[in-house]
Structure 1
Amino acid sequence: MKADARWVVQVLTYCIAAVVAGGCMMGPKYSRPETPAETATRFVHAPDQVERLGDVEELDRWWERFGDPVTADLVQQALEGNYDLRASAARVLQAREGLSEAKGRLWPEVSYGITRDRSKRYFNFGGGGGAEDPNDPLLSAFSGGFSPLTTTWSQDISVSYLVDFWGKLRRAKRAAWEDLLASEANRQALTNSTISLVIQARIDVAVAQRRLALAKANIESLENTLEITERRHRAGLVGPVDVRLARAGLEGARAQEPAIASALAMSRHSLDVLVGRQPGTSSALPQTLPELPDLASAPVGVPGTLLDRRPDVRAAEFALRAANERVGASIAQLYPDLVLTASYGRSADQWEDIWKNFSETYSAAFNLAQPIFRGGQLRAQVRAAKARYEEAAAVYGGVVLDAMRQVEDALIGEQLLQRQLEHVQRQLQESRAAEDLSRRRYEQGVEGLLTVLESERRRRSAEEQVAVLKGQIWTTRVNLHLALGGDWAGAQVVESQMVKK
């Protein structure tokens, strides 16, 4: 019993020493690198009236301002059925299990084993050799050697624990945690991007539907023009050239219809893929957006908010933090490892004896190993880890700058498109007035058919430009909200729904 007590005390001493030793960590402490987003006080192209920092929460689920249930339903379908989102959710699960694995390394390893060893060895005591049976111990003793056959049963429980004195394992665990956060941020960034693509595809469908409706209306208008021209030709008021021109204009308008229908079909195919359906199998969307609604000003805030709102920026910083932790883990490899081991079990020649107390065995030991020479491998690993940190820092700075560029692009793009839309809308008003006047004058015989056709062409072009520009403005607003990093996901989708067998 005294031996047992000493063994227990010794193991407890090792464990207490391990716990006490667990407070030291090697490596640098993380600090966020300074970027232009932190020093900039405003976006260059942000209107003064929308630089309200507290209003950025208005970005959440902003697409619902469409007032279009079809768009909201498409977004929900994409969150549940998009294959890229399923893959990103699976990557999050992988990172989560990587963290669990890193946490497991901090705990002692416990194993149990039971073995049966049957062996035969020859022993020679220096006597004379002979032809006697070596399996007969009595005869072999006189011949100078013998070869016994033995059987040994044993069972034991062993414990092994690496004392994380220098923080190598804890650094690895923290790096795995940052990897998990980065994967989750990347999943959110992909979710935001997917939602923006769904909304853009929905806008493209609405614009194409509007253009197709205008094309059909233009065809009908040119058919009326042809009818008038032919009637006037039969009356001898115009020549055959006017009839040919009217027919050419009508066929030109009819030729544009298939091109617009093709663009509409491709937009629908893109939308089908985004929501996880076979392209071309979905029914036509209802024209719930015949006219895109006007946009109110978006709250922009200051560039510094991008560091915490944009998931891709956060993912880049999490990757940087993980690289910093791995620098500390590589430095800790330069220092000695202390491994505590202990085992308890039983060993005997008979199976039934290994369950009895007299056959018990136990041991406790520690191993302190210090790397002395490995050809510079360990220090090379430290330098490589520091270089990877510098790479991650440069990537982070680039992501921040690119995020600022995207906001500036969307801001200036929307402002200039709005100005362009104002001019095109005035152009459309004048073109409609010119078309009405030219038709009346043509019927009166004052103007020629070319004037009528030209006025129709200009009115048709202005109408199409208005539809396209409104779609571009809405697409630019989608890009602005995506660049600002709104919480697009809103109601989160359970990962079990996204990762399906």
Structure 2
Amino acid sequence: MPFPAFPLPLIPRTARLLPVMLLAGCASLSGEQQAVQQTLMDEQASVQQWQATPVTSVAGEEAVESNSLLALLPDEQLTQLVKQSLAANPGLQQTWLTLQVLRSSQLGVEANQLPEADLSLSGSRSEDDGNSFTTELSVSWELDLWARLADSSSAAAADVAEQLALYQSARDTQVAEVMSSWLQLIQLNNAIQVQALLLDSLRKNEDAIIQRYRRGVGDLDDLDSARSSLASAESTQADNYYQLAAAKRSLRTLLGRVTDTAEDDAEVPIPADYPAVLLPLVELPEQTLARRPDLQAAWQALQAADLRTQVAYKDMLPSLSISAALSDTATSPSSSLLTDPVWSLLGQLTAPLFRGGELKAAARTAELNAAVAAQSYRETLLTAVVEVENALDQEATLARQQEAIQRALESARTNETRYVRRYRSGLVDMLDLLSVQQSRYSLEDTLNTLTYQRLSNRITLGLALGLPGTVTLENLTASPAQAVSESLPASSSDLSAETL
């Protein structure tokens, strides 16, 4: 063992002081994060007290249990679009490649716990000694006395689990966006058809006013109002066509397509009516939150930050490494291949004494990073709760609006039928009939928009409840939710001082 540069009697004293420094630092860390820990426990306890009630629509539709977002809207065409999007979307592929990068980095960190072996062969020639060849086989290993290397490996594994959950979250969001975009195509196509009927009615209204004016019955004010309404409706129709084209381009981007060819349009036909979108069952908060991948990712980030804080303090402790070597020197390469080797064994104890505050600064930085991760977890938790509550309220509100507009539309259709009979009997004129028809078209457009919003909100609710996009995950050996569910806290009791 090589002699250290400082006197040997100082080694035991330093070895006694550094663990004290470590314990003091950990106590300081616990004290600084005690308020954050208590807040996390209180917030999770309050979330557990939130009792979700089954959502029943005004029409009496019951919520159903589903295992994926795609199961809420069972349609073969949509399923094919989702598969194309998951396979070709560049943003999703970037997230997948980032996951592979972290997996490779994890292997490098885990390798630090294993012994290192090197084989070297060198040759030299001098005037006095002639040829000289040396072969050396060396093995070195750092003993993980304080589990510092193990903590680093666990932190790298937490990074992989975090990215795995982020990949799951990206997939779920991707599926939800494709489903909503597909529904939007139906909504815009229906809006164009309703607006076309309204335009036809307004043109007839204009023609009727012109005929009345020529007979000396009407005036120019009525004609100007009719032309103004017609121009406004034409502007709305132009915007509808633009919105439909933009929605197709948005869906094309989600599918990872560069151009929008005629073949692509043939692959994405727009249905005439809205498909049935099931209402997802709202489970207990702890079940819902435990399966949300964004919350799983935030928890894994918190775990990784905590482990790196422990590593930063353990860097202040002494480290022990052992190395062994076999070497052989001869005048020919074949004779130097460890035929008569000389072995050596070296043990080295290294303890940091003065680094100019570098190690303390690193530990303080790790503490702050852990505090940031804790606050990020809190923010994700609060956001998750708000998203579920907003989606639930939106479902109930849209259901009431849809029922009211449906009643109004039924009354408008009945009123239109009466006006048609009166017009044929000569009791009302064409302007009155056209006005009633325009009111019906306006209500139909409103009902079309509310239907789309409600169906899209059910997809948003399923995403907020943590439903996966699809049941199976391609290119993955296990579901991200399954991969990280064991480390996600199921209740506030799991958020102890040791975990923070």
- Tell whether the structures are fold-level matches, with TM greater than 0.5: yes
Identify which range, 183-192 or 95-104, moves more after superposition: 95-104
Partner in structure 2 of residue 403 of structure 1? 384
Partner in structure 2 of residue 9 of structure 1? none
Per the TM alignment, residue 415 of structure 1 is displaced from its structure 2 partner at its CA by 0.7
Per the TM alignment, residue 417 of structure 1 is displaced from its structure 2 partner at its CA by 1.2
Partner in structure 1 of residue 468 of structure 2? 487
Q: Structure 1 residues 320 and 289, CA, compared in 2 at 3 Å: closer, same or farther?
A: farther
Partner in structure 2 of residue 290 of structure 1? 273
Is the Cα contact below 8 Å between 2:52 and 2:285 reproduced in 1?
no
Is the Cα contact below 8 Å between 1:194 and 1:274 reproduced in 2?
yes
Find the aligned partners of 1:311 and 1:190 in 2 and give their Cα distance: 9
With normalisation by structure 1, the TM-score equals 0.78
Partner in structure 2 of residue 58 of structure 1? 65
Secondary structure of the equivalent of 1:165? coil
**Corresponding position: 1:157 with 2:157:** no
Secondary structure of the equivalent of 2:336? helix
Output aligned runs, 1:255-404, within 5 Å.
255-281=235-261, 282-283=264-265, 285-288=268-271, 290-293=273-276, 297-355=279-337, 357-358=339-340, 360-404=341-385
Per the TM alignment, residue 453 of structure 1 is displaced from its structure 2 partner at its CA by 4.3
Superposed CA offset, 1:9-65 (max 9, x none):
xxxxxxxxxxxxxxxx99799999525244334547744779xxxx99923224334
Match for 2:307: what amino acid?
E
Find the aligned partners of 1:49 and 1:264 in 2 and give their Cα distance: 32
Q: Structure 1 residues 278 and 35, CA, compared in 2 at 3 Å: closer, same or farther?
A: farther
Per the TM alignment, residue 232 of structure 1 is displaced from its structure 2 partner at its CA by 7.0
Match for 2:156: what amino acid?
A
**Corresponding position: 1:186 with 2:166:** yes
**Corresponding position: 1:455 with 2:462:** no
Secondary structure of the equivalent of 2:327? strand
Superposed CA offset, 1:198-236 (max 9, x none):
1110111010011112122333444555666677778x5
Output aligned runs, 1:21-100, within 5 Å.
33-34=40-41, 36-41=43-48, 43=50, 46-47=53-54, 58-100=65-107
Find the aligned partners of 1:64 and 1:312 in 2 and give their Cα distance: 21
Is the Cα contact below 8 Å between 1:37 and 1:401 reproduced in 2?
no
Superposed CA offset, 1:361-390 (max 9, x none):
221111111111112221222222122111
Per the TM alignment, residue 476 of structure 1 is displaced from its structure 2 partner at its CA by 1.2
Output aligned runs, 1:123-162, within 5 Å.
148=128, 151-162=131-142
What is the number of equivalent residue pairs in this alignment?
Answer: 438
Q: Structure 1 residues 59 and 35, CA, compared in 2 at 3 Å: closer, same or farther?
A: farther
With normalisation by structure 2, the TM-score equals 0.79
**Corresponding position: 1:477 with 2:458:** yes
Per the TM alignment, residue 269 of structure 1 is displaced from its structure 2 partner at its CA by 0.8
Find the aligned partners of 1:444 and 1:357 in 2 and give their Cα distance: 120
Superposed CA offset, 1:134-181 (max 9, x none):
xxxxxxxxxxxxxx5754210111101111111111001101111111
Superposed CA offset, 1:63-90 (max 9, x none):
3343422212111111111111111111
Per the TM alignment, residue 301 of structure 1 is displaced from its structure 2 partner at its CA by 1.5
Is the Cα contact below 8 Å between 2:64 and 2:280 reproduced in 1?
no
Find the aligned partners of 1:311 and 1:487 in 2 and give their Cα distance: 9
Superposed CA offset, 1:280-334 (max 9, x none):
33205323351343x5543112222233210000000011111111122112111
Partner in structure 2 of residue 14 of structure 1? none
Secondary structure of the equivalent of 1:335? coil
**Corresponding position: 1:207 with 2:207:** no
Is the Cα contact below 8 Å between 1:68 and 1:289 reproduced in 2?
no
**Corresponding position: 1:416 with 2:397:** yes
The RMSD of aligned alpha carbons is 3.3
Find the aligned partners of 1:258 and 1:339 in 2 and give their Cα distance: 75
- Taking only the aligned residue pairs, the percentage that are identical comes to 26
Identify which range, 447-456 or 169-178, moves more after superposition: 447-456
Find the aligned partners of 2:469 and 2:280 in 1 and give their Cα distance: 15
Find the aligned partners of 1:198 and 1:348 in 2 and give their Cα distance: 71
Identify which range, 361-370 or 150-159, moves more after superposition: 150-159
Is the Cα contact below 8 Å between 2:423 and 2:430 reproduced in 1?
yes
Find the aligned partners of 2:442 and 2:64 in 1 and give their Cα distance: 39
Secondary structure of the equivalent of 1:493? coil
Per the TM alignment, residue 461 of structure 1 is displaced from its structure 2 partner at its CA by 1.4
Partner in structure 2 of residue 3 of structure 1? none
Q: Structure 1 residues 353 and 262, CA, compared in 2 at 3 Å: closer, same or farther?
A: same
Secondary structure of the equivalent of 2:329? strand
Match for 1:406: what amino acid?
E
Partner in structure 1 of residue 199 of structure 2? 219
Find the aligned partners of 1:379 and 1:41 in 2 and give their Cα distance: 39
Is the Cα contact below 8 Å between 2:63 and 2:278 reproduced in 1?
no
Output aligned runs, 1:232-251, within 5 Å.
236=215, 238-239=217-218, 249-250=229-230
Partner in structure 1 of residue 151 of structure 2? 171
Find the aligned partners of 2:272 and 2:68 in 1 and give their Cα distance: 18
Q: Structure 1 residues 369 and 420, CA, compared in 2 at 3 Å: closer, same or farther?
A: same
Find the aligned partners of 2:355 and 2:95 in 1 and give their Cα distance: 40
Is the Cα contact below 8 Å between 2:72 and 2:280 reproduced in 1?
no
Find the aligned partners of 1:66 and 1:307 in 2 and give their Cα distance: 23
Q: Which has the larger radius of gyration?
A: 1
Secondary structure of the equivalent of 1:59? coil
Find the aligned partners of 1:95 and 1:462 in 2 and give their Cα distance: 54
**Corresponding position: 1:196 with 2:179:** no
Match for 2:284: what amino acid?
V
Match for 2:191: what amino acid?
R
Is the Cα contact below 8 Å between 1:189 and 1:311 reproduced in 2?
yes
Partner in structure 1 of residue 16 of structure 2? none
Secondary structure of the equivalent of 1:341? strand
Q: Structure 1 residues 149 and 355, CA, compared in 2 at 3 Å: closer, same or farther?
A: closer
Find the aligned partners of 1:436 and 1:244 in 2 and give their Cα distance: 28
